[in-house]
């Protein structure tokens, strides 16, 4: 598990991203939607929800967003796993190609794992919480409607690593 000093350093690096909220009205969009995926290392599927909050336009072709997300994994009986992520995606506009917007993001992840061992008379709950770093790459499909499908790869580095493939849809408000 990461020590407190590493967590404080990571938070200090991400806080400046939140200071730009409202700097550029054109980028102050809000998107929210479901996602589903598969964790290669955990070997389980998961579902969850994402939100994208437009923070600032860095240039004509790059915008920065805040992306909180929650994922719940389909684990065997008596076992649970979920993650809470906070990422900062940089969305890239490709000139003369408006239908696809690739993005890359650093982020933080908190994962909670627990398992119940024993029976009704004598049961033990074993749990662990890991804090890790996310490295994300993906693409947001900019259809003409207010629904934007996305596909994403995510690598989480904590006590171990976790590689996930996921996709979903974002509803723009």
The answer to whether residue 23 is domain-embedded is no
Q: Domain for residue 63, yes or no?
A: yes
Residue with structure tokens 């860095």?
Answer: 58
Structural domain of 145: 4-18+28-172
pLDDT per residue rounded down to tens, the chain (173 residues)? 455 555 555 555 555 544 444 444 444 489 999 999 999 998 999 999 999 999 988 998 999 999 999 999 999 988 999 999 999 999 999 888 888 999 999 999 999 999 988 766 677 888 899 999 999 999 999 877 789 999 999 999 988 889 999 999 999 88
Is the distance from CB of 168 to CB of 141 less than 8 angstroms?
Answer: no
Whether residue 159 lies inside any domain: the answer is yes
In a domain, 145, yes or no: yes
Whichever domain contains 153, its CATH number is: 2.40.160.20
The answer for residues whose C-beta is within 8 angstroms of residue 129's C-beta and 6 or more apart is 1, 110, 111, 112, 113
pTM for this model (two decimals) = 0.80
Residue 132 CB neighbour total at 10 angstroms: 22
**Number of structural domains in the chain:** 1
């Amino acid at each position: 598990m990461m020590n407190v000093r590493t967590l404080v350093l990571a938070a200090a690096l991400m806080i400046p991203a939140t200071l730009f909220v409202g700097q550029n009205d054109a980028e102050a969009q809000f998107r929210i939607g479901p996602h589903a995926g598969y964790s290669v290392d955990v070997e389980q599927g998961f579902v969850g929800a994402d939100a994208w909050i437009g923070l600032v336009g860095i240039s004509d072709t790059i915008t920065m967003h805040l992306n909180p997300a929650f994922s719940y994994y389909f684990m065997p009986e008596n076992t649970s796993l979920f993650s809470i992520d906070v990422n900062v995606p940089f969305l890239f506009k490709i000139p003369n190609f408006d239908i696809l917007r690739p993005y890359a993001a650093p982020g933080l992840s908190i994962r909670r794992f627990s398992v119940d061992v024993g029976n009704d008379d004598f049961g033990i709950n074993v749990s662990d919480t890991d804090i890790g770093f996310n490295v994300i790459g993906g693409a947001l499909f900019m259809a003409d409607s207010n629904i934007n499908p996305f596909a994403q790869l995510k690598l989480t580095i904590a006590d171990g690593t976790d590689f996930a493939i996921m996709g979903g849809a974002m509803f723009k408000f």
